[in-house]
Every structure is written in C-alpha cells, then in structure tokens.
Amino acid sequence: MPIPLRGLRTIRTLAGKVELVSVPHRALLQVACLELEKARRTTERSSAFRRVAELDARIRDIDAEQASLLQALAERKGKSVEAGIGRQSRGRTQPFKIRY
C-alpha cells in the first residue's frame, strides 16, 4: 500500500489555536488600537454634535427671517399672510417645453 502524499492542507499546525492573551504584546497592541479608535470616534462624535447644533441654529435663523419677510409683505399689501400662500396656480396643463 503506497504512502499517501502529504500536502500543505494535511500539515497540522497550531497557528489558529494560539490565544490572544497567551502572547502579551499582541494583546497590548490590540488594546492600544482600540483606544486609538475610541479617541477618533469620540472626536468625530463631538464634531458631529457641534455641526448639528450649527445646522439647528441656522434653521431657526432662516425661520425667523422668513417670518419677518412674510410679515412685511402682509403689512405692505394689507392682507393676511395665509391669503397669499393659498393662491391657485395658473392652470397650466402641459409642462414647459423648450424648442431647439
């Protein structure tokens, strides 16, 4: 009976069985990498919160400016703001077409 040929797949190794804790420098490197990622994510989170706060403030400014402009228009025309908003369209049935 011939001896079966051994290849790369049949060689037994302990490569995947070594625990992370058994090699201290690997565990410490993993902890350091996790700390760096945590610091990056914390910075990213704080900048995102700051950006959201800036967007909310700008939206409030836009609403206030829009309300003051609509109020000025209403006072100028002597009508209420709601009457100008609810106007009907001109009744166009076809879309705007451009000829070339």
Instruction: Please report the pLDDT score of residue 13 as a whole number.
Output: 72
Neighbour count for residue 27 (Cβ, 10 Å): 13
With CA atoms as reference, report the closest residue to 84 among 100, 72, 94.
72
The string of pLDDT tens digits covering residues 73-93 is 999 887 654 555 555 555 566
The confidence score (pLDDT) of residue 91 equals: 59
Q: For the chain, which ranges sit under pLDDT 70?
A: 1, 14-21, 79-93, 100
Locate the domains of the chain by residue range.
Answer: 24-78
Q: How far apart are CA 73 and CA 82, in angstroms?
A: 11
The torsion region of residue 97 among left (phi > 0), alpha (psi -120 to 50) and beta comes to: beta
pTM for the whole thing?
0.49
pLDDT at position 21: 63
